[in-house]
Structure 1
Amino acid sequence: MSLFKPNSVALAIASVLFTSSALAQEEQPAQETDVEKIVVTGSNIKGVDLEGMQPMVVLSAEDIKSSGASTVSELMVQITQTRGGTGSFNTSESGATSTSTPAGQAAASLRGLGASSTLTLINGRRVAASSFASGTQNFVDVNSIPLAAIERIEILATGASATYGADAVAGVINYILKKDYDGAEINLSYGNSFADSDEGKYNINFIWGTEVLGGQLTLFADYFDRNSFSAQDRDYTATPVLESNYSYLPKDTPNIYYLSSYSGLDEIGAPNCKTEFVTTEFGEEICAYYRNEDDELLSALEAGSTGLIFSKEFGDITWNTDFFYSHNKSVAVSSPAPINRVDDTEGPFVPVSALDVFDDETRDALLYDMWIEDFDSLLGRVIDEGFMFDARFSDPRTIEIETNSFRLVSGLSGVINDWDWESAITLSKSESQQEAVKGIYNRYKYHAALTGELCNDGSIANFDGANLSCAAGGLAGVYNPFLEGDSANNAILALAQEVPTRDGESTVYAWDAKISGELFELGSDYVRSAFGVEVRKEEITDTPSMNAVARAENEYLVDVFGFGSSISAADRTQYGAFAEFFVPVTDQLEVQLAGRYDHYDDFGGTFNPKVSFSYRPFDSLIMRGSWSTSFRAPSLTQAGVKLRTTTATFDCGSNQAVADLYCEGFGDERSNNVLELGNSALKAEESEAVSFGFAFSPSNDTTLSVDYWQFEHDDLVDTDMTATLDAAITDSSLRHCGIVPEGEMGISYEEDLCLVTDLSGLTIEQDGANLTEILDEWVAFDNPRYAELPLYRDHVIQLENTGSQSVKGVDLAFEQYFDFSAGTLSFDINATHYIEFDRNKPGSDEIEALIGTWRYPENIASLRVGWSQDNFYASITADYTDSYADDIDGLRGRNIDELEDLGELDSEGQRDVESWTTIRANIGYDFDNMNINFTVNNLLDEEPPVAYGSSRGYDSYNHNALGANYRVSFTYFFK
């Protein structure tokens, strides 16, 4: 019982023996009608097993059962081809902001190239992408595919655009649903961790199949419910791995207020701080915040699905229809939103009377050393004596998201003159609704509340120059951010709460037709071929409520704090035609030739060929190889983004000029609020893929396959803040003091930066300005805390084709069986070794080697030992992830100082995230009419390796923090 059957040798040997078996069938024509001609992933030619020509992983229903997975995303993280890097993601990466992965959703990525570069199919046809993108990357939510309905999964990890068109850059994952099922079964399962916290998950599914109206009907239904998993539920994630990982923005009272008796604006913590004070690198004693307090490692998820597959023959024509519907509901949580001024700069003002909550002695001591000044209220009133504070709201940002997906494919197939033909229509749709239910506050109402300008009905008061008034009701009173546990004060804050919404819809309409058959005889076999056409229309919309939209007329200020949005709408029509040939050159050498032309109405056409071969010097050995080109059309979100409020990271470590101007010369990463624009002029990403290897089976009990593969992936689509900062050094059109004007792009600097000039008298907005000289003058003029050019907010950057990447590696699979009188012992090894993962650094032509660096392990492997005896089976699987470098260069100076004090860094100032091995145990028994299966994941309760490069303290892409957990499954078969 192999857990995963890479390039199943049984199928490979079938390819070796195809010629003789085909001839045998010709001699026995009475049996031909009993043999179903199938199509394997990667080819459209029926009846020819081309799997031997390509590195494929096949997961059978038995493999899925013994994996212990409850969802498709749980299953896919067990595949070596989908592990490593940040391409695949699950709900551990979800959150309540526009930059987060949509809550409850997950995607599988091959070779670390990204989910949008992996084509997801169901029964060989496309599925509508999630209407909410991950960033600007559209992806198929694999959690919408009911695991119980899957018969097998075929994973082709090489370029496949010659067969399937766009998106198959890294390959194809084809989920093949059960059909022709006869009988009924119900499955119940429950899983949880062994910890005291409750991460319980429940699953029930039902399958029933019978003959109906002269056809075969299969019905299925599935329900899944999972509790959330919080960082506070484990000792190793509940507290920060570094004390210096603090944020200056605490939640609850006290907040941080400003002092000005020292240089610049220094901060101290309020006396009633809820946590221990932290000493900053500037010697301040502040009340700090750590993300661990509110970090949700796995969001709650409730999912239900149902569907049917129906097949009926009408003479020589067969009608096939499959339909499924799924409904997912999830809740995602992100850290509480920061509180800024109305214009989004740091340090909102509050009247000095806010300090009246403290006793007189404490209050007087605070006032003795504070910077007090008058300030203007939201309505323009002058407030005597106020001070600035630094804080975030108490409640985490919380959103609820519901997604409804359905897919209908209906087609006809038959045979004409020994040629198989098939034609089908596809309608697939995903609709999502999102609602922020907690932790989101209106910036204007909040500032009105601070100075008593908010009305009891939640509206902002009127001010006639002398008095405040409300259209209905009276004034709500003054909100005091330093007052805790007061219901009346909390009620005023509640008036400022908002409930932004977001609605998305993604739809695919398609029609395809194809034929497959023999062209002519060649030697002892036939040249076979397939031809086909496809028409596809895709539409996507992402529409937020107005209170979450950045608008030019409002200087791009979103009405609410800390919650952006994406506005996009796009559609495209695509026409495709393909041809494919199987050529048995000799009895030992077979060749596959394929080519496909696709034309898109928004960016033009592309042709992608593929050549592959298999050579059999003797029956037990197949040598194989392939070359192909593939492409990924710019996603509809990328082409259709009108304005997206998000954050963008720039990497000072990749560009020294940027580091000197914006990072004091350090190589850390910084994030800023930006506005992303779509780009209708984007080119398609292109890829060239090569693979070659062999499958060797000296006996029925032994299989070894080794495959080398490589991808050259060009014209990647992304936004590049580092490149924009670099370009702005010489391009004055990208430099703006204050908000970037509507219709322009570039970097927004603090307005006061234009008060200084370089030695030639030029401001930063003028051609020829020397930015290094302007930085020196700014430091002399403003005496800032950080000697770097002051960035403001809402930099405007456009999606573009930013660069390229080269990925190379080797897959190894070994399978060995030993038959004994008592049972069968099996060994399986599946491993992926990355030879190269190179790409250009952001904002630079320099190539960086990623293998062995942060989040890119060099080796990933699984070793399985299994035993089966009659109806009993058991297995132990070890999953291994190699060590790799921690992201030390991306840390702040204070983090590095602390690591040096802890002795965590080597002589070069670096460290490695340790390798990680977890054990999965599975045991089961098949009775006459039922099955019991028990799985324990992470049997030895291994904690994830410490990773200082993540604020979580571990790498949630390559490891997980759940610890030892189990799943028990019971299946009953109705006879």
Structure 2
Amino acid sequence: MKKRLLSASAGLLLSPIALAVEQAVEDPNAEVERIQVTGSHLKGVDMEGALPVITISEEDIRTSGANTVIELINQLPQFGGGAGTFSTALSGAKQGDAPAGAAGISLRGLGTSSTLTLLNGRRMSVSSFANGNESFVDVNAIPLAAIERVEILTSGASAIYGADAVAGVVNFILRKDFEGFEISASYGDSDASSDDTKKNLNLAFGHVEDNWQMMATFDYFDRNALYDRDRSATAVEPRPSQQGIFPSFNDLWAMDTPEIGDFVEAACPEDQFGVGGFGEYCELNRNAYTATLPEMESYSSLITLDYTFDNGMVWFNEFVYSNKESSSNSEPAPFSGDDAPISYDHPNMPQELRDRFDEAGVDPAYPIFAWGRFPDARTVEVESDNYRVATGLRGELMDWEWQTSFLWGKNENTQKATAGIYHVEKFKAAVGGELCADGSIGCDPDVDGLWYNVFGGQTDNDPMVVDLLREEVPRDGESELMVLDFQASGEIYELPAGSVVMAFGAEYRTEEVEDNPSPLATAIAGDVPVFGFGSTEAEADRWAYAVFTEFAVPVTETLDLQLAARFDEYESFGSDVSPKVGFRYQPTDSLVLRGAWAQSFRAPSLAQVGAGITLSSGALPCSGEFQDNFCGGFDEDDGYLSEIYGNDDLEAETADSYDLGVIWSPTQELTFKVDYWKYKHEDLVGTDDEDLFRQALRGEVRVVSEFPDDPEDPDQVLADGEVGIITRDGTIGSPIEEIRLELVNFGFQETDGFDISAEYDLNTSEWGDFGFYLDATYLNSFEQKLSSGSDTEELAGGWRYPRWLANATMRWRFNDFLGSLRAEYTHSYDDDHDKSAVPEGRQVPSWTTFDLYLSYDITGNSYVSFNVDNLFDREPPVAYGSGANVDLVNHDSMGRYYTLGYTLKF
């Protein structure tokens, strides 16, 4: 099979079949500028209109008001919706949260590992901390001020760039041709009472002398945290936790009946007291603790250095370093049942509560079990260092452009908990008075034992005892990438309609990742040593090589064809050929038709290949098929912890992508573009929680008890690495405590829709120059089938998948003024109806915000700028399906935000 694939690749390398492009050279003797556009290795041809490429220019970046790369990317409709692109708004201290301070980008909601992120056309090292089980490139490591433009190919491009380009490519192109010195500074804050300041300072220096050209930039960015409690829209969560700072108590014997149920002490505030399926509880508003946007501080520097030899060959170099520190938090960690056995003789137990225990028939010889939360938020600090060195040569030989380079990249992450993480066994000892002053366990409660006071809102505790219980659970990760490549491009044959242009090349790379969490944050015999905290664990390395070819063939004066192919060989995952076929047809000067078909092959990411045990959490929707079995008739969703195991038998994902578009320019000033796109993505790597419950109902996996009669009996417990479900008493219908499952290749997702854009330029002598721009995407369908046992689900128009996303911009330039007014629109979509508390048929309303930018050139070398985001201070729509009460994937809660900037060049 491998020989056949190599033969096919070699055949394509020698065959003059190619990608659709248009060669527009009026004078064959004139010197043609060699250009290369993201989405092709071809140089020396005009790629305009041949590929669905979105370009964000330097002026676009300037008027966007963005301070970071993710803020800029989030303004594009093609990255919105679904659960692909994530920002620091989704980070936190829980395993299910995105890594603190990190951000990843995803086209069409197909996942960060399916969108290739490039810097100057070359790969970047992935974050050593995965997002769940998915690897990603942390775009927060790229300083926005160092970017000249961004080119986004919204089409499958594995045939050009390799396996990760299933959904498309995002290429950040750094500033280079700059001479002189530039300093830019900005300061921003909201008009709310909270301190939401952002500060940014950028320095740039460029110099050209003889054959040398260099540029250096330094960027500093600092942002204060925004908390859910700081905004009325997110201050109160829609479904407060029934485990609070004032715990519920039950002895699981005399009180374990519906007639009695749990007790809560009388000190619970009246507005927090409630009675539920298990008895009394004192609820907790978790939004009072969580950060909407965590604080972040970053430093970054970039140096480019080029030397041109006398023969025209160029030695180019690129050095990038960034350091980022971020702190993020989540609601207080919960403790439950067997993890919180309170001694009946606890010296701080309120008498009124003790009297109620006595009336209920509680035996003082046995402990009382507690269900509650600690009083402080789980908080982690993450420091990230990114290094990148690229060096190479490029030149021209016999009218062929060639280039070869070596790239080395590295990401280092360190994490530690600074609050809210408590040791399970030490806590068990402390609530029974058996914690020793040196942190050991087993002291006498009546002599030298230390007590933790779980009563009275947990406010009256010795700081020394609290310090003994807390853990930092350190975690460190490292990823490394090395790439050696060569490519060449030139004309190989002359046809009546023009020259056939060919590109070919080869690439060899090695990549590795290590994610080393503290043993305290990993499962030991099914138990985690600390409360409510876990980490991914991964260790993997591999090599891969590829050969690729690409052709541009002008079939006629109006029709160009494109075929490209890439052969990839991955260590442990075999090989595959990724082809791409495209065309560009221009029947008239004002009309262009374009289209493409491509196949993709994506080997599992390093975080998936080398996955250890990932600790996470979830909730079973107690409606429909699960309400009368696992949910036991309860209407509220049943939360659980989960352990996810790696799988050595994972296979590669595959995908087909289709594009068909039209470009119409009725006048020189007006252009319309419409592109239809479709992806079918199969053999996805991931997990399907709900199918595990279906397997249990069919008897295919075991359901065991949290409290087995004999923990040594293998029939009563799940073995290490065994897939299954743990409930309170081992029966279906008892409260779910934990599930265990593994990564698998499951199901497919198929999505299609339209991208629509329009541009109109209007130049006036009296009022200046105007530009009107529309960019919209329509999600027609997003079908997903997670496993053979699940139904195909239509996501388009559902929770977090709005059908329409659009922005419209009016830009104005007059003398020394530059301004823009941008409207961003998110269509309505279904609220999360899997949540039992969401009213049937409820939709999250549509939302439109306006951003204003205005700058004035003080002199030819300096300007001042003023930006207002969310000009009319529109509150985000309520989303009951989100714990924040706002869907932070599609909306934000910051409100009106002002930024003042100044730039000086000399």
The TM-score normalised by the length of structure 1 is: 0.86
C-alpha offsets along residues 735-786 of structure 1, whole Å, 9 cap, x if unaligned? 5455754455221334854xxxxxxxxxxxxxxxxxxxx75xxxxxxxxxxx
1:720 corresponds, among 671, 683, 688, to 688
Deviation at 1:165, TM superposition (A): 0.5
- Identify if the C-alpha distance between structure 1 residues 371 and 539 changes in structure 2 by more than 3 Å, giving closer, same or farther: farther
1:834 corresponds, among 779, 786, 806, to 779
Corresponding residue for residue 247 of structure 1: 241
- Identify if the C-alpha distance between structure 1 residues 872 and 422 changes in structure 2 by more than 3 Å, giving closer, same or farther: same
Corresponding residue for residue 842 of structure 2: 911
Deviation at 1:871, TM superposition (A): 2.2
Identity %: 39
Deviation at 1:487, TM superposition (A): 6.0
C-alpha offsets along residues 657-706 of structure 1, whole Å, 9 cap, x if unaligned? x5542124679754422221112221111111111111111222111111
- Identify if the C-alpha distance between structure 1 residues 264 and 338 changes in structure 2 by more than 3 Å, giving closer, same or farther: farther
- Identify if the C-alpha distance between structure 1 residues 333 and 728 changes in structure 2 by more than 3 Å, giving closer, same or farther: same
Contact 2:561 2:583 in 1 (8 A): yes
Matched, 1:924 2:855: yes
**1:714-863 equivalent positions in 2, closer than 5 A:** 714-732=682-700, 734-737=702-705, 740-750=717-727, 752-753=729-730, 788-793=733-738, 795-822=739-766, 823-841=768-786, 844-863=789-808
Contact 1:591 1:614 in 2 (8 A): yes
2:189 corresponds, among 189, 192, 195, to 192
Which amino acid in 2 is paired with 1:226?
Answer: R
C-alpha offsets along residues 202-261 of structure 1, whole Å, 9 cap, x if unaligned? 000111110257310010110000000001111222123x4xx1222112x466566828
- Identify if the C-alpha distance between structure 1 residues 423 and 807 changes in structure 2 by more than 3 Å, giving closer, same or farther: same
State the alpha-carbon separation in 2 of the partners of residues 280 and 116 from structure 1: 45
State the alpha-carbon separation in 2 of the partners of residues 212 and 264 from structure 1: 87
Contact 1:726 1:843 in 2 (8 A): no
Corresponding residue for residue 517 of structure 2: 544
Paired residues, what number?
Answer: 874
Matched, 1:60 2:28: no
Which amino acid in 2 is paired with 1:27?
Answer: N
Deviation at 1:166, TM superposition (A): 1.1
Deviation at 1:390, TM superposition (A): 1.9
Matched, 1:457 2:457: no
State the alpha-carbon separation in 2 of the partners of residues 112 and 556 from structure 1: 33
**1:155-194 equivalent positions in 2, closer than 5 A:** 155-194=152-191
Contact 2:513 2:540 in 1 (8 A): yes
- Identify if the C-alpha distance between structure 1 residues 368 and 665 changes in structure 2 by more than 3 Å, giving closer, same or farther: closer
Deviation at 1:278, TM superposition (A): 3.2
SS in 2 for 1:566: coil
C-alpha offsets along residues 167-221 of structure 1, whole Å, 9 cap, x if unaligned? 1111000000111211121110111111011110000011111025731001011
- Identify if the C-alpha distance between structure 1 residues 736 and 388 changes in structure 2 by more than 3 Å, giving closer, same or farther: closer
**1:494-573 equivalent positions in 2, closer than 5 A:** 494-551=467-524, 555-573=525-543
- Identify if the C-alpha distance between structure 1 residues 478 and 685 changes in structure 2 by more than 3 Å, giving closer, same or farther: same
Deviation at 1:107, TM superposition (A): 1.1
Which amino acid in 1 is paired with 2:322?
Answer: S
Deviation at 1:356, TM superposition (A): 5.0
Corresponding residue for residue 407 of structure 1: 388
Deviation at 1:284, TM superposition (A): 4.3
2:332 corresponds, among 329, 336, 361, to 336
Gap runs ≥5 in structure 2: 1-18, 709-715
Which amino acid in 1 is paired with 2:722?
Answer: M
C-alpha offsets along residues 903-962 of structure 1, whole Å, 9 cap, x if unaligned? xx4xxx321110000011111123311121111111111111011111211101000111
Corresponding residue for residue 373 of structure 1: 363
Matched, 1:710 2:678: yes
State the alpha-carbon separation in 2 of the partners of residues 515 and 939 from structure 1: 49
State the alpha-carbon separation in 2 of the partners of residues 255 and 186 from structure 1: 58
State the alpha-carbon separation in 2 of the partners of residues 388 and 625 from structure 1: 65
More divergent stretch after superposition (744-753 vs 142-151): 744-753
Deviation at 1:630, TM superposition (A): 1.5
- Identify if the C-alpha distance between structure 1 residues 254 and 133 changes in structure 2 by more than 3 Å, giving closer, same or farther: closer
Gap runs ≥5 in structure 1: 1-14, 375-383, 754-773, 776-787, 897-904
Corresponding residue for residue 865 of structure 1: 810
**1:217-228 equivalent positions in 2, closer than 5 A:** 217-228=214-225
Contact 2:805 2:827 in 1 (8 A): yes
SS in 1 for 2:218: strand
C-alpha offsets along residues 874-894 of structure 1, whole Å, 9 cap, x if unaligned? 121110000001113x223xx
Contact 2:407 2:484 in 1 (8 A): yes
2:341 corresponds, among 349, 354, 371, to 349
SS in 2 for 1:662: coil
C-alpha offsets along residues 445-487 of structure 1, whole Å, 9 cap, x if unaligned? 111111221111212136xxxx689xxxx83432221156876
State the alpha-carbon separation in 1 of the partners of residues 721 and 866 from structure 2: 60
Corresponding residue for residue 664 of structure 2: 696
Which amino acid in 2 is paired with 1:393?
Answer: F
Matched, 1:973 2:880: no
State the alpha-carbon separation in 2 of the partners of residues 332 and 814 from structure 1: 40
State the alpha-carbon separation in 1 of the partners of residues 566 and 130 from structure 2: 28
Matched, 1:673 2:641: yes
Contact 2:89 2:292 in 1 (8 A): yes
SS in 2 for 1:925: strand
- Identify if the C-alpha distance between structure 1 residues 668 and 687 changes in structure 2 by more than 3 Å, giving closer, same or farther: farther
**1:419-430 equivalent positions in 2, closer than 5 A:** 419-430=400-411
Deviation at 1:281, TM superposition (A): 4.0
- Identify if the C-alpha distance between structure 1 residues 790 and 356 changes in structure 2 by more than 3 Å, giving closer, same or farther: closer
Corresponding residue for residue 289 of structure 1: 284
Matched, 1:319 2:312: no
Contact 1:837 1:849 in 2 (8 A): yes
State the alpha-carbon separation in 2 of the partners of residues 883 and 486 from structure 1: 44
Contact 1:162 1:595 in 2 (8 A): yes
State the alpha-carbon separation in 1 of the partners of residues 751 and 21 from structure 2: 34
State the alpha-carbon separation in 2 of the partners of residues 398 and 330 from structure 1: 11
Deviation at 1:43, TM superposition (A): 0.3
- Identify if the C-alpha distance between structure 1 residues 647 and 692 changes in structure 2 by more than 3 Å, giving closer, same or farther: same
- Identify if the C-alpha distance between structure 1 residues 364 and 625 changes in structure 2 by more than 3 Å, giving closer, same or farther: closer
- Identify if the C-alpha distance between structure 1 residues 916 and 750 changes in structure 2 by more than 3 Å, giving closer, same or farther: closer
State the alpha-carbon separation in 2 of the partners of residues 872 and 141 from structure 1: 35
SS in 2 for 1:235: coil
State the alpha-carbon separation in 2 of the partners of residues 275 and 407 from structure 1: 57
Contact 1:661 1:789 in 2 (8 A): no
- Identify if the C-alpha distance between structure 1 residues 585 and 231 changes in structure 2 by more than 3 Å, giving closer, same or farther: same
Matched, 1:878 2:839: no
- Identify if the C-alpha distance between structure 1 residues 487 and 356 changes in structure 2 by more than 3 Å, giving closer, same or farther: closer
Corresponding residue for residue 378 of structure 2: 397
State the alpha-carbon separation in 1 of the partners of residues 533 and 235 from structure 2: 25
State the alpha-carbon separation in 2 of the partners of residues 330 and 603 from structure 1: 36
Contact 1:182 1:209 in 2 (8 A): yes
- Identify if the C-alpha distance between structure 1 residues 516 and 147 changes in structure 2 by more than 3 Å, giving closer, same or farther: same
Corresponding residue for residue 627 of structure 1: 597
Contact 1:529 1:581 in 2 (8 A): yes
Matched, 1:207 2:204: yes
Contact 1:811 1:831 in 2 (8 A): yes
State the alpha-carbon separation in 1 of the partners of residues 454 and 109 from structure 2: 45
State the alpha-carbon separation in 2 of the partners of residues 744 and 477 from structure 1: 37
